[in-house]
């Protein structure tokens, strides 16, 4: 092919677009602002084992495009029993460290899922347009729940929903929540190289320039001109895969300006916050079998509610704790020492004061990353499905858009990002 294609961003969407176009015979160049590839998939090895600091799971591995890629590139994976179907995959501690009955607690979690499904499907309730997830959660009569079941219900409705959307339930539109579709098969945590191994496999043989940030895009009848930190680039067509948060920050200017429909979508959709802290210890002081732990919050400012036990999957003495939404914002206000001290206080409350100090830690700051500006997108109050469709629309056959925020149903997932990259590549091929 004689056409020159530039893909902006070497995350999952960008690599999918570049791989598809390259394999179809196009001349493709990928520009990535960071000094590494992968975008919001980032496998870190500073703890002596692979830890995914961005995307970590294949959510719904059956029929998922990530599953054959993981198999192709030799990535290991293990089922994470988030629903506690086996009955022994979860440990729960109250905010004072008291261990709680997991079976009864899980019944409250199940009640939340049933309640949310019923309210959105039933003809007996009227849910007004523009209602938040928090408003929907407040509708049912919960007096039938035991106090412990209510704790399970409340945890899902607060901490778990924050992790799902990277935003607080008060900020999420319940109708946009319904657009998210799940594939079967549960949740497959990647290890043995993690998402980084998939990223490297997709990138093999591609022309990728790192540490090149794009700050201006001029698109016109004859092509596209890019102004970057490495000078000017010319292309026939461009695939833009930067996250929603980068567009919202105005980090890239456009000539002519983006269409009003697309600008409206950028402003109405939300970019959530999601941060991780991973800790390696000299030995495991927690039970090996549970997949994860819940540490119930004392209040809305309590951090460290959801812990993943990597030892269960890798036999490495590593724990990873997640904070999202306003809790992630609070975590980002703490420096490294303060965040670690607070995390250790939580662990000591759960497992005793004599636990060892970690030998190494690593944290994320996705919200401060100029090439991310947050965790992933969500359906903010006031947004509609058409906003994601508008964000995905190509402009004048020259400028094409991809990334998880442009997917209506697989938003906030690696497989959603991958699909949009392939979709944008196919749009280019169809436009010849």
Q: pLDDT at residue 58 above 90?
A: yes
Gap between the Cα atoms of 127 and 129, Å rounded: 7
Write the burial class of residue 87 (CB in 10 Å: 0-12 exposed, 13-18 middle, 19+ buried): exposed
Q: pLDDT at residue 124 above 90?
A: no
- When pLDDT is averaged across residues 21-39 and rounded to a whole number, the result is 97
Q: pLDDT at residue 405 above 70?
A: yes
139 — pLDDT class (breaks 50, 70, 90): confident
- When pLDDT is averaged across residues 310-318 and rounded to a whole number, the result is 96
Which of 220, 216, 226, 218 has its CA nearest to residue 30? 226
pLDDT value at residue 102:
96
Q: pLDDT at residue 80 above 70?
A: yes
305 — pLDDT class (breaks 50, 70, 90): very high
pLDDT value at residue 279:
98
Q: Which two tokens stand for residue 153?
A: 């219900």
Contacts of 143 (CB under 8 A, 6+ apart): none
Q: pLDDT at residue 125 above 80?
A: no
121 — pLDDT class (breaks 50, 70, 90): confident
Taking the whole predicted model, whether its pTM rises above 0.85 is answered as yes
pLDDT value at residue 1:
59
CATH of domain 4-39+193-270+375-430: 3.50.50.60
Phi-psi category of residue 217: left, alpha or beta, with phi > 0 → left and psi -120 to 50 → alpha: beta
For 92-112, write each residue's pLDDT tens digit.
999 999 999 999 999 999 999
- When pLDDT is averaged across residues 231-248 and rounded to a whole number, the result is 98
pLDDT value at residue 6:
98
126 — pLDDT class (breaks 50, 70, 90): confident
- When pLDDT is averaged across residues 230-245 and rounded to a whole number, the result is 98
Query: In this structure, how many other beta carbons lie within 10 angstroms of the beta carbon of residue 326?
Result: 16
Domain ranges of the chain: 4-39+193-270+375-430
Q: Of 120 and 6, which is predicted with more confidence?
A: 6
Which pairs count as long-range contacts for 244-249, CB under 8 Å and 24+ apart, including other chains?
244/269, 244/271, 244/373, 244/374, 244/377, 244/391, 244/403, 244/405, 245/271, 245/372, 245/373, 245/374, 246/370, 246/371, 246/372, 246/373, 248/373, 249/370, 249/373
Q: pLDDT at residue 228 above 70?
A: yes
Do the Cβ atoms of 309 and 281 come closer than 8 Å? no
- When pLDDT is averaged across residues 194-202 and rounded to a whole number, the result is 96
Tokens 């959530």, located at residue:
272
% of residues, the chain, pLDDT over 90: 88
Gap between the Cα atoms of 182 and 400, Å rounded: 26
């Amino acid at each position: 092919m004689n056409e020159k294609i530039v893909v902006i961003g070497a995350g999952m969407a960008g690599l999918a677009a570049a791989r598809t176009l390259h394999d179809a015979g196009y001349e493709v160049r990928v520009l990535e602002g960071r000094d590494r590839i992968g975008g919001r998939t980032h496998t870190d090895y500073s703890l002596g084992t692979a830890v995914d600091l961005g995307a970590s799971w294949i959510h719904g591995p059956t029929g998922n495009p990530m599953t054959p890629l993981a198999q192709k590139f030799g990535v290991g994976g293990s089922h994470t029993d988030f629903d506690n179907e086996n009955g022994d995959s979860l440990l729960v501690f109250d905010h004072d460290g008291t261990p709680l009955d997991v079976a009864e607690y899980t019944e409250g979690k199940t009640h939340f899922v049933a309640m949310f499904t019923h309210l959105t499907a039933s003809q007996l309730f009227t849910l007004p347009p523009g209602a938040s997830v928090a408003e929907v959660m407040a509708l049912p009569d919960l007096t039938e729940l035991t106090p412990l079941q209510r704790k399970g219900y409340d945890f899902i409705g607060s901490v778990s929903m924050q992790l799902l959307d990277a935003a607080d339930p008060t900020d999420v539109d319940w109708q946009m929540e319904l657009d998210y579709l799940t594939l079967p098969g549960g949740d497959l945590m990647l290890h043995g190289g993690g998402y980084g191994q998939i990223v490297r496999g997709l990138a093999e043989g591609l022309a990728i320039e790192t540490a090149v940030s794009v700050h201006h895009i001029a698109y016109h009848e004859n092509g596209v001109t890019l102004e970057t930190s490495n000078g000017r680039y010319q292309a026939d067509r461009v695939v833009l895969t930067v996250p929603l948060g980068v567009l919202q920050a105005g980090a890239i200017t456009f000539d002519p300006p983006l269409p009003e429909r697309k600008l409206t979508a950028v402003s109405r959709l939300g970019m959530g916050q999601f941060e991780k802290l991973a800790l390696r210890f000299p030995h495991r002081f927690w039970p090996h079998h549970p997949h994860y732990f819940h540490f119930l919050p004392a209040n809305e400012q309590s951090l460290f509610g959801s812990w993943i036990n990597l030892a269960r999957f890798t036999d490495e003495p590593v724990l990873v704790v997640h904070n999202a939404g306003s809790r992630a914002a609070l975590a980002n206000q703490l420096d490294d020492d303060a965040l670690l001290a607070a995390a250790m206080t939580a662990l000591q409350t759960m497992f005793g004061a004599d636990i060892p100090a970690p030998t190494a830690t690593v944290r994320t700051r996705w919200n401060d990353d100029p090439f991310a500006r947050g965790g992933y997108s969500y359906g903010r109050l006031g947004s509609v499905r058409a906003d994601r469709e508008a964000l995905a629309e190509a402009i004048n056959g020259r400028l094409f858009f991809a990334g998880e925020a442009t997917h209506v149903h697989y938003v906030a997932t690696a497989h959603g990002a991958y699909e949009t990259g392939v979709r944008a590549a196919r749009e280019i091929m169809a436009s010849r």
